[in-house]
Amino acid sequence: MSIEFTVNGTAQVVEAEPLTPLLHVLREDLSITSPKASCQHGGCGACTVIVDGEARRSCLMPVEAARGTAIRTVEGLAPAGGELTPLQQAWIHHYAAQCGFCASGFLMAATAYLEQGGTDDRDAIVEALGGHACRCTGYVKIIAAVQAAARGETFDLEETAVGANTTIKGVER
Ligand code: FES
Ligand code: FES
């Protein structure tokens, strides 16, 4: 069956069984790999994309339900050669990604939260990111990054990189 939608502003037509998870169509048919295939039961958030402005677990969404929608993924946040969004810059500045496996899902959920007028209120951010699992960061840095983006803070990422390098050299000595 043919199903049409857009991904990051580009029209797509896929041939798929209606109940195929959107996650599989994105990754296997369209080679859009930022949504991660992790638990595939709705429990971790790694597969999260934005569908018509709402954060959705793509592992739980049948592709038929995406017919006619506008889907966004991390690939569309900062197109090749484009500038990172303030949220992505804050993610780097606050070291909110360590292994990075969870980052795509968190970034899309947090992007939807901010676009819907989300503030730097910690409890509201925790609520918006509920059910997203990260095995590395302890969540503190992730929440700090979302709070920074909500406040409109900007960062010089070259200084962030220099700071990280200095720290590493300090450890080596
Ligand atoms: S892979 Fe979709 S929620 Fe875990
Ligand atoms: S940064 Fe490793 S799982 Fe989140």
Question: Which one of 1.10.150.120, 3.40.50.150, 2.40.50.100, 3.40.50.300 gives the CATH number of domain 86-172?
Answer: 1.10.150.120
CA 92 to ligand 1 center in whole angstroms:
23
Cα–Cα distances in angstroms (integers) from residue 33 to residues 15, 49, 61, 101, 107, in the given order? 18, 11, 16, 11, 14
- Name the closest ligand to CA 27: 1
Q: Name the residue among 52, 39, 164 with its Cα closest to residue 105.
A: 39
Whole-number Å distance, alpha carbon 15 to ligand 2 midpoint, is: 33
Range list for CATH 3.10.20.30 in the chain = 2-76
Nearest CA, atom 2, ligand 2? 99
72 forms beta bridges with 50
- The count of residues in the chain is 173
C-alpha 152 to ligand 1 mean position (Å): 30
Inter-residue contact 160 to 141 (CB < 8 Å): no
Q: What is the pTM of this model?
A: 0.92
Find, among 125, 107, 21, the residue nearest to 64 by Cα. 21
Token pair for 144: 């700090």
Q: Is the dihedral of CA 18, 21, 26, 28 positive or negative?
A: negative
Instruction: For the chain, give the mean pLDDT.
Output: 93
User: What pLDDT score does 157 carry?
Assistant: 83
pLDDT in tens, 13-50: 999 999 999 999 999 999 999 999 999 999 999 999 99
Residue with CA at minimum distance from ligand 1 atom 3:
42
Residues of the chain with CATH 1.10.150.120: 86-172
In 3-state terms, what secondary structure has residue 24? helix
Amino acid 31 reads S
Q: Decide: 37 in ligand 2 pocket, CB within 6 A.
A: no
Q: Which residues, in sequence order, are bridge partners of residue 50?
A: 55, 72
Fold topology of 2-76: Ubiquitin-like (UB roll) (3.10.20)
For residue 39, give the ligand nearest its CA: 1
